[in-house]
Amino acid sequence: MKKVVLGLSGGVDSAVSALLLKKQGYDVTGVFLDMGTGDLEGARAVADEIGIDFQTVNIEKKLSNLVMEPFIDAYLGGLTPNPCILCNPKVKFPALIKAADEIGAEYAATGHYALVDYDSTSGMYRLLASPGDNDQSYMLSRLDQRILSRLILPLGSYSKSDVRKIAWENRLSVASKPDSMEICFIPDGDYAAFIEKHRQIPPEGDFVDIHGNVLGRHKGIHRYTQGQRRGLGVAAGKRMFVLKIEPETNRVVLSDAEDLAVSEIHVNNLIWVSIKPPETAIDVDIKVRHTKLLYAGKVIPGARDTARVIFDTPVRMPAAGQTAAFYRDNVMLGSGIILRRESI
């Protein structure tokens, strides 16, 4: 019987993943990644209910050093990072792989909605988008071949409603448990309060238009993201958006929607997940946030893991610090971190 460790959070997705793996004949060990928050007792109860082994792995220190502190630094630098995308390759999956190695398990698994296969032509494992309604391949777009080669994603071919139905049919106690929508270490979703708790509160500063005219006062640059419209508190006679954030001058630049369309962005920390690094431009579909929207365009690799990303038609400007993921058909090819607009 093949062994697998499964990231078990106490939610419905990981619970159904455990159930499916057990029914497929795997020897499953549920692993709760303890970060000081989360539903430890709920995860333990799920493991008992399904009848699988259970253990905890403390990841607080690594999460703080590798994800939380960089998250705060990025926000204070005028960026809008996605900590879950960075946590997966740096903390979560390495912890699961290590737990697997310690008990002699060949595989690690999670309840993400995506698929992994092996392409014999290229000799590479590939990350594929889920055909269901809750594809999460974007959130896994920084994984490498070492992780993909050990990874099982039991929910890849299922929709969210399918998973709920399986939970109800098998009378799992978590069948009606709400999904968690926030960052794990900021469960209330208040990013600004989290940053203020861990660092000195950033000062107020000026809202300005694209010509430098002062429009009002902001409450600290950590409270704003590119593209934001709500909660600005500026009376400009028309709807205004955050165009860019300037940490050097402590200014937040506002504009109307006409300035928010871009035809090109730059990325760094470029990685290729499912293919070997291309030497020339390739046509791709581009996802710049965790939605279903894909934009046609191309990636032109540059020096030192950078690239230009060209859209066939202008798109609403994505926030600097977010991830741009590249697809061809349903294969997630790779990704890069979006640079600030003034870096382009």
Q: How many CA atoms lie within 13 A of 300 on its CB side?
A: 8
For the record, the structure tokens of 39 come out as 């539903």
Based on the residue annotation, tell me whether 84 is a catalytic residue of this protein: no
- Tell me the three state secondary structure of residue 329: coil
Q: How far is CA 293 from CA 186, 287, 307, in A?
A: 26, 6, 21
Task: Provide φ and ψ at 117, rounded to 5°.
Answer: -135, 175
Q: Which of 148, 184, 208, 245 is catalytic?
A: 184
Q: Give the β-pairing of 295-301 and 307-316.
A: antiparallel
Q: How many CA atoms lie within 13 A of 45 on its CB side?
A: 10
Based on the residue annotation, tell me whether 184 is a catalytic residue of this protein: yes
CA end-to-end span of the chain: 53
Distance CA 22, CA 33 (A): 20
C-alpha closest to that of 134 among 107, 108, 153: 153
Question: Concatenated DSSP letters for 136-160?
Answer: -GGGGTT--HHHHTTEE-TTTT--H
- Tell me the three state secondary structure of residue 161: helix
Task: Write out the catalytic residue numbers.
Answer: 87, 184
